[in-house]
Amino acid sequence: MSSGYNGPPLLDLTIDNITPNTNLINAQCKDARLKYLMSRLVTHLHDFARETRLSTEEWMAALNFLVACGQISSDVRHEFILLSDILGLSLLVDSINHPKPPASTEGSVLGPFHTHDAPTMPNGGAMSTDPEGEPMLCVCTVKDTEGRPIRGVKIDIWETDSSGHYDVQHEGRDETGPSERCVMESDEQGVFWFKAIKPVSYPIPHDGPVGKLLDKLGRHCWRPAHLHFMFDKPGLDKLITALYLRGDPYETSDAVFGVKQSLIVDLDKVDKETASKYDAEEGHWLLRHEFVLVTEKETQDLRDRNAVEALEKLGLRMKLVDHLPVPELD
């Protein structure tokens, strides 16, 4: 053909033949993984339209919803992460990619509010400048599955202020800079300790398309009180998690499905000895927690094993290339 086109002849496409033909033209793709992703995406998308007999008005409403999600997004707001969160996709993708051996700390959703500009803070620093917050001393350790402390782990920590807003949700954040977030490093004993405020439950941003969707679904937009953590050290599986305060009214109805029993914690109060040891005030809230990290290798092996097992169960003949499935015969 004069256009140099080598795909299938695309003519007279119908409800019944559009899917194989779209997959055939996409099969020109040289990247086996992308080809597989696209073929599953197109098949699911088309099956969805066929099963629901999707109307033209619904299709247009969906496309306009997606435009609105893109347009409300910015450097500090990612409406599609939020959408993925409330649809349970974020939790699912995290579970697939970071399976945890029984002895280790479970993961939770990243959410859309992590930033890369948090200040580095030494042990004992205060991550919050909010005078309205209830002071909370946090004393944590990072260990491996054998109970040995791990030093030199970079830990990103972030939470809302006492009004339930992350710094990036406030006007003028460019001038004031980051608040209620910091980056720490575990010491020789695997310890990191800092001063924060007691987390509060808060609504996820609901002034945009995702909030409107939750409303139409009759769902509330609240997350139970929690403190975010991200652990990073070469050789260890990056752990994205959060600790949730027991007894929160949204403990079992988190809008983004993040809560796990093992991540629910009880707060204590700072006693005299602790106050003196950590330069804190007696009677302030106290959070003590031990995080258990696994190696990248352990996680990768477990993820690969789980993938092979799950794909076999689905009856798919796949092989793993760079730890990601592609069709066996292709």
Among 164, 251, 260, 255, smallest CA distance to 217 is for 255
Residue 119 in contact with a second copy, rule: CB under 8 A: no
Q: How many whole angstroms separate alpha carbon 150 and alpha carbon 292?
A: 9
Residue 186 in contact with a second copy, rule: CB under 8 A: no
Residue 278 in contact with a second copy, rule: CB under 8 A: no
For 171, the token pair is: 């006007």
Select from 89, 191, 265, 275 the one that contacts a second copy (CB under 8 A).
89
Q: Which of residues 196-225 bind a second copy (CB under 8 A)?
A: 216-220, 222
Residue 88 in contact with a second copy, rule: CB under 8 A: yes
* CB of 26 or CB of 123, closer to a second copy: 26
* CB of 159 or CB of 248, closer to a second copy: 248
Q: How many whole angstroms separate alpha carbon 166 and alpha carbon 178?
A: 9
Contacts of 135 (CB under 8 A, 6+ apart): 195, 197, 198, 280, 281, 284, 285
Q: How many whole angstroms separate alpha carbon 70 and alpha carbon 80?
A: 7
Residue 62, number of CB atoms within 10 A of its CB: 10
Residue 315 in contact with a second copy, rule: CB under 8 A: no
Residue 321 in contact with a second copy, rule: CB under 8 A: no
Report the nearest approach of a second copy to the CB of residue 145 (Å). Answer: 20
Contacts of 310 (CB under 8 A, 6+ apart): none
Among 265, 198, 252, smallest CA distance to 224 is for 252
User: Which 8-state DSSP code applies to residue 236?
Assistant: B
Q: Which of residues 233-272 bind a second copy (CB under 8 A)?
A: 249-254, 257, 259-261
Binding part of the chain for a second copy, among 60-68, 135-143, 227-235, 270-278 by CB under 8 A, reads 60-68
Residue 96 in contact with a second copy, rule: CB under 8 A: yes
Report the nearest approach of a second copy to the CB of residue 36 (Å). Answer: 7
